[in-house]
Amino acid sequence: MTDRRGRPLRDLRISITDRCNLRCRYCMPREHFGAAHSYIDRADLLTFEEITRLATQFVSLGVRKIRLTGGEPLLRRGVEDLVRMLARLPGVDLAMTTNGVLLPSMAERLAAAGLRRVTVSLDSLDDAVFRALADTAVPVRRVLDGIDAAARAGLTPVKVNMVVKRGVNDDSVLGMVERFRGTGHIVRFIEFMDVGATNEWRLGEVLPAGEIVRVIDDRYPLEPLGATHPGEVATRYRFRDGSGEIGVIGSVTRPFCGTCTRARLSAEGKVHTCLFSSGGTDLRALLRSGASDVDLRSAVAGLWRARDDRYSDLRGTLPRSEPVEMSYIGG
Ligand code: SAM
Ligand code: SF4
Ligand code: SF4
């Protein structure tokens, strides 16, 4: 099954909460996500049974990789039970993206429940830079402990996501390279993206992927690596001295819509076929009105076949109405 641009459905990102214990400036700026912000009501969240039932339909339509995200997925109570349920789906690679704050105490349980890998977000090793960007009192050490706990639990290779903002944390790029080369962990440098309507995105704050690679290559020579699988978003490079690899995700300057195979399910059950879409299609209503698996499957198939999204290819040329926030859709 392919969409109107010939792209198959291979990946499903499931957001399981829109809440978070950090307030990253590029994602949930506190002035918009303060005490007055209204989050999805508990009763409106998909239950674990509902998530699993929907995920089963996606898998039957070709999904091979499922990633739990949020908000902060580790805030969802009982998340390891959901992991256990999803881990039973045949032929699926199950991963999670987390800010790592709660990983030190949870990594072992998640691995035991069947999680295969984690990606941990960390934007600097410098406490002052990290705390300002994540608007938190949590120290970097805590996230590093989370990464260590994940590695010990076998959730490997651990990927480390760093969003790079020019003039904010670009000085931290080489430090991240130095800390993680030779460890087996893979740092992925991500261009600051214009998701949502609250993060005051400006093109001038994007450090282009090409520049990031140049800065690293000047100090630690790199050579390009091929994609590990079709639809991979990161452009991969390895250190010429054999000390590992990095990736860059250039959604702004190197769009990859042509190979985008990802669907997204929000915590309240809306399917989005693009990170930059607005409304989403409500599958919860269908689920709760007694739809059969066949009905659910054909709703998803219909959505995918009609899909024509390529926001990043067309960036700046399309009108945007009420874009959803990153903390809602999950990245
Ligand atoms: N809370 C978890 C975390 O931070 O890893 C999972 C959800 S978060 C929305 C998923 C990923 O999106 C993180 O790696 C985060 O750094 C990234 N992200 C959030 N806002 C972004 C933006 N404006 N541009 C680029 N990446 C962003
Ligand atoms: Fe929370 Fe992740 Fe967004 Fe940061 S990027 S505010 S950790 S959801
Ligand atoms: Fe996929 Fe939309 Fe991102 Fe393009 S902009 S790569 S279609 S999610």
pTM score:
0.97
Protein residues whose CB sits closer than 6 Å to any atom of ligand 1:
20, 26-27, 69-70, 72, 97-99, 121, 161, 163, 190, 192-193, 195, 199, 326-327, 330-331
What is the maximum alpha-carbon separation in the chain?
A: 59
**Region of 205 on the Ramachandran plot (φ > 0 left; ψ -120 to 50 alpha; else beta):** alpha
33 within ligand 3 shell (Cβ under 6 A): no
For residue 331, give the ligand nearest its CA. 1
- pLDDT at residue 321 greater than cutoff 80: no
How do the domains of the chain map onto residue ranges?
A: 11-329
Mean pLDDT value across residues 103-107? 98
Separation CA 149–CA 106 (nearest Å): 8
The fraction of the chain above a pLDDT of 70, given in percent, is 100
Question: Could you tell me if 184 and 157 are in contact, meaning their C-beta atoms sit under 8 angstroms apart?
Answer: yes
CATH value of 11-329 in 1.10.3470.10, 3.20.20.70, 1.10.1280.10, 3.30.300.30: 3.20.20.70
Structure tokens belonging to residue 232: 């991979």
What pLDDT is recorded for position 280? 93
- pLDDT at residue 84 greater than cutoff 90: yes
What pLDDT is recorded for position 273? 97
